[in-house]
Structure 1
Amino acid sequence: MITDFYKCSEHKVIIVGLDNAGKTTILYQFLAKEAVHTSPTVGSNVEEISVRKTRFLVWDIGGQESLRASWNSYYCDTEIVILVVDSTDRERLTLTREELHRMLAHEDLQSAAVLVLANKQDMKDSMTVAEISQCLTLSSITGHSWHIQACCALTGEGLSASLDRMKSHVLAG
């Protein structure tokens, strides 16, 4: 019984998205509440983030094309998938959609919730949450709970709401 309590107290989250979407900046904004200088992630970064006594083990996985094939090795026991989208990268949004739907078809993610972070909302030419939602065909996702949140990794805007949503999901689950 005690083992079950400790097992449930930490929740696995993966942060995925194409290269240059802002995944690592978001991870460290969650952790340190400040923007940090990052370089392209080769492999992954992992950090523990606590939100009012709920602990998340967050894996930030590199998004370069050569690394995407290995994403599935991180899926086991994942409760929440955070997909970070560069809201200014219109050309690659179709690729993002393909990667998202491929991920969600994987058996290890059948019960995972999806949180889409529409990053770089501070940029003049960024797409709206509605545009991104439509391009990603989020309304067609019926086997997973999902939410899309506008954010800015550099300022942290929208990220505390994301953490609250993650906490609500694991407490409801």
Structure 2
Amino acid sequence: DKIRPLWRHYYQNTQGLIFVVDSNDRDRVDAARDELHRMLNEDELRDSVLLVFANKQDLPNAMSAAEMTDKLGLHGLRHRQWFIQACCATTGDGLYEGLDWLSATLQKQK
């Protein structure tokens, strides 16, 4: 939490943003949504594409990618390319699929 104010120092020339969210943490999903939208409202990130990793899908009570899409308000992102990928960082499941989307999307923009 203490380092979040420092994030903006890295925004300049950002083409793609990867946002990792804990799909099992229902108590903090609203805070994650607020932080995501705060970042996306920064001028320097206006043209960047967004990849969201819905992490911890291996846990039994994890929210699905569809539920995370709703909770994070992703459908409201009208002028931005975005993709959400269910994943499990500890096993690697879903990581390549998300990164493949990001790579292909950034290649199309060149």
Q: Return structure 1 stretches of 4+ with deviation > 6 angstroms.
A: none
Aligned counterpart in structure 1 of residue 59 of structure 2, from 107, 119, 123: 123
* Cα RMSD, aligned residues only: 0.7
Larger helix fraction of residues: 2
SS state of the match for residue 170, structure 1?
A: helix
| Matched residues, number | 109
Larger strand fraction of residues: 1
Deviations 1:2-39 (A, max 9, x none): xxxxxxxxxxxxxxxxxxxxxxxxxxxxxxxxxxxxxx
Q: What is the CA–CA distance in structure 2 between the aligned matches of 1:163 and 1:147, rounded to whole Å?
A: 10
Which runs of structure 2 are paired with 1:87-126 in the superposition (5 Å)?
87-126=23-62
Letter in 1 for 2:11: Y
TM-score (norm 1): 0.62
Which runs of structure 2 are paired with 1:115-154 in the superposition (5 Å)?
115-154=51-90
Question: 1:79 and 2:20 equivalent?
Answer: no
What's 2:92 paired with? 156
| % same residue | 42
SS state of the match for residue 168, structure 1?
A: helix
Which runs of structure 2 are paired with 1:46-65 in the superposition (5 Å)?
65=1
Structure 2: gaps (5+ residues): none
TM-score (norm 2): 0.96
- Which has the bigger relative contact order, CA under 8 A and spacing at least 6? 2
